[in-house]
Amino acid sequence: MKRFINWLVVVALVLINMVHVGHAAKYNDLEAIKDKGKIVMGTSPDFPPFEWLVIEDGEQKVAGIDADLSKLIAEELGVELVIEEMTFDALIESVKIGKIDMSLAGMTYTKDRAKQVDFSDVYYDADSKIIMLADADEEKFKTIEDLADQRIGVQRGTIQHELIHELLPDAEIISMKSNIDVIEGLKTDRIDAVVLEGIVTDEFIAAHKGAIKAMENIEVSSEEEGNAVIVAKGNQELLEVINKVIKDAKESGELDEIVKRNLEKSGDEE
């Protein structure tokens, strides 16, 4: 009898577990999103022209390429778009646990990340650059090795963070949650050089007119594979819709339009 009860308990536990796992995987699938009538997109709005904060009609909102692309995805699904702000280093975990349905955050594909979440097709090709104060000596800082004894600022959890750690293992790396703080650190002499994505670098430089500059001579090598949308692992149907939206927007020229429009906007407002 005792054995039978033990056996029953095991079967019950296995069943409970199956239901639980099934539920977790299903919670953010296409059907669930359509049932909810909304798709929740998470992002870290410190990354113009991909995402930054604007005030519209007295309310703070996320603007940018990623917000516009998310709108297209929501339209294709026929649901409302809800954007949640969080720090960049919280996005992958939030997608994994289903707190958000997808993330568009200028997130670059990496093999490590792809073990945890699924990536869409690439919608933007990225590279990295170094920014320093406008009066930094270009004769002194010509290669990445010349930065070895400098304080280097990066956004926590980004590929730039990983990259500089690999290139200069002994350098003092200062990682912060937001790029806004990293740039502020540079301007207030707590950081000597910042590693940031190329197109984003241009936006920050335009916004801080004359105070900071890109070190064009310093090549930051990496094998970056471009920015893409992430969804929970196995969320195949949602991923297919997202890939269709990206493909259509590329083919129709709408994606180029979105990039152009946001480059103009973020340059004005940042």
Which stretches of the chain bind ligand ARG, using CB under 6 A?
Answer: 43-44, 46-47, 50-51, 88, 105-108, 126, 155, 158-159, 179, 197, 227
| Residue 170: CB minimum distance to ligand ARG, A | 22
Question: Are 124 and 65 a contacting pair, CB within 8 Å?
Answer: yes
Residue closer to ligand ARG, measured from CB, 155 or 235: 155
Least separation in angstroms between CB 152 and ligand ARG = 15
- Considering the complex, what minimum distance in angstroms separates the CB of residue 44 from ligand ARG? 4
Compute the least distance from the CB of residue 73 to ligand ARG, in Å. 17
Q: Which is nearer to ligand ARG, 29 or 154 (CB)?
A: 154
The gap between the terminal CA atoms of the chain, to the nearest Å, is: 72
Q: Residue 50 in contact with residue 141, Cβ under 8 Å?
A: no
29 versus 124: smaller Cβ distance to ligand ARG: 124
Contacts of 68 (CB under 8 A, 6+ apart): 258, 261, 262
Crossing angle for the helix pair 179-187 and 198-207, to the nearest 10 degrees: 50
Alpha helix segments (H runs only) across 168-219: 179-187, 198-207
Tokens 């103009």: give the residue. 264
Residue nearer to ligand ARG on the CB measure, 61 or 142: 61
